[in-house]
Amino acid sequence: MLNYSVWSSYFVELSPEEMVREFLNAGFKATEFSDEHGLMLLERGNPEKEGIRLRRYAEGLGFTFPQGHLLLRADLCAEGAVETLKPWLDLFIALGIRSGVLHAVGGDDLSPEARFERRVRTLTQLADYVRGTDFTICLENLRGATRPETAQDLNALIDASGGDANLGICLDTGHLHIRREHNQSQADFIRIAGKRLKALHIADNDTTSDMHLMPYGRGTIDWTEVMTSLRDVGYDRLFNLEIPGERRCPLPILRAKLLYCRTLCETMLSSVGL
C-alpha cells in the first residue's frame, strides 16, 4: 500500500517535534511538511543542520517527510526569487523530502508572454540547483487567469524549463474541481500528467469554494475516478490529504478526525490496490 498522510498544518500550532508525535499517536508514518513548519525550522538557524536534526528525530521514531510545501508566498517573477527559495530547497533535501510542492505564481502585472518567460527562468535555475539529487519540484495546479490551472499549463512550464529533470506535477483535486469550466476532469488531468505526477493534495469541495474537506463528505468529487486514474498511471508517491477545512475544532476532535483519516486513506488505497 502507498504511504499516506495528512499535511502537517493539521497541527499548525504545534512545533515540528510535537506534530510528529501527534501523527505517530494516530498511526501515521509520514506527512507533507507544511510551509508553516518550514518557516519554524528556518527561524531556528542553518537549514541543512535543522533539517538533518529533525529528520534524525523523526526517523528514530519511524516517521518520514516524503513531501513538503515550499514557501507559499514565493513570487517566481520577482528579483531574488531563486535566492529566496534556496534555503527552502536545502532544508527540504536535508529533511529527506522527495516531492516539494511549489506555486508557479507571480508577475500578474506582466504580459502573458513575459510572465511565462520569467517563471521559466526561475524554474530552470531552481531545477539546476537541485540537479543530482532525487528531489522533485512539483508544480501545483491553481485557480485564476494568471495561474497554471490545467495539466497542459503545467506541462508547458516543465517543457520550457528543461523537461523532467527534477521537475514534476502536484494535483490539487479541490482546485481542479472548482475550475470545471476548463472541462478537465480529474481523470484527464491525471492521464495528461502521467509519470510527471509526483505529489497530491487530496481535498473535496462542492465547487462553490475551496473548502478543503475530507473525501466522501459534503464535497462532490468522484473519488472512484480519482483513485482508478492514479492506479492506471502508476502513481507511486505519497497519498496526501490537505484539509484545512477540517481544522475548525478543538484538539481532541482533531485527534479523533485523524483516526478517521487513517481509515479513510487505507480504504481508498486498498479499493484500487495502491
Of all residues in the chain, the percent with pLDDT exceeding 70 is: 99
C-alpha cell at 169: 506535477
Structure confidence at residue 184 (pLDDT)? 86
What band does 118 get if pLDDT is binned at 50, 70 and 90?
Answer: very high
- pLDDT tens digits for 45-61? 999 999 999 999 999 99
C-alpha cell at 50: 535543522
Strand (E) positions, the chain? Answer: 4-6, 30-33, 64-69, 99-102, 136-140, 167-172, 197-201, 239-241
- pLDDT tens digits for 56-88? 999 999 999 999 999 999 999 999 999 999 999
**Number of folded domains in the chain?**
1
Structure confidence at residue 63 (pLDDT)? 98
Pairwise CA distance, residues 255 & 249, whole Å: 10
| Dihedral (CA of 12, 81, 94, 52) sign | negative
- Strands of the sheet with 30-33, listed across from one edge: 30-33, 64-69, 99-102, 136-140, 167-172, 197-201
Of all residues in the chain, the percent with pLDDT exceeding 90 is: 96
What band does 180 get if pLDDT is binned at 50, 70 and 90?
Answer: low
Structure confidence at residue 183 (pLDDT)? 73
Q: Is 238 exposed, middle or buried (0-12, 13-18, 19+ CB in 10 A)?
A: buried
Between the CA atoms of 244, 141, 64 and 163, what dihedral angle is there, to the nearest 10 degrees? -170
CATH number, position 39:
3.20.20.150
- What mean pLDDT is predicted for residues 110-130? 98
- What mean pLDDT is predicted for residues 150-155? 97
Pairwise CA distance, residues 4 & 29, whole Å: 8
Structure confidence at residue 7 (pLDDT)? 98
**Chain mean pLDDT for the chain:** 97
pLDDT at 181 > cutoff 90: no
Structure confidence at residue 179 (pLDDT)? 76
- What mean pLDDT is predicted for residues 8-20? 98
Pairwise CA distance, residues 62 & 124, whole Å: 35
pLDDT at 114 > cutoff 90: yes
Structure confidence at residue 13 (pLDDT)? 96
pLDDT at 182 > cutoff 80: no
- Could you tell me which residues are beta bridge partners of residue 187? none
- Could you tell me which residues are beta bridge partners of residue 167? 137
Pairing mode, if any, of strands 167-172 and 64-69?
A: unpaired
- pLDDT tens digits for 22-51? 999 999 999 999 999 999 999 999 999 999
- pLDDT tens digits for 90-102? 999 999 999 999 9
Pairwise CA distance, residues 222 & 238, whole Å: 20
- Residue ranges making up the domain that contains 101: 4-270
C-alpha cell at 176: 481542479
Pairing mode, if any, of strands 64-69 and 136-140?
A: unpaired
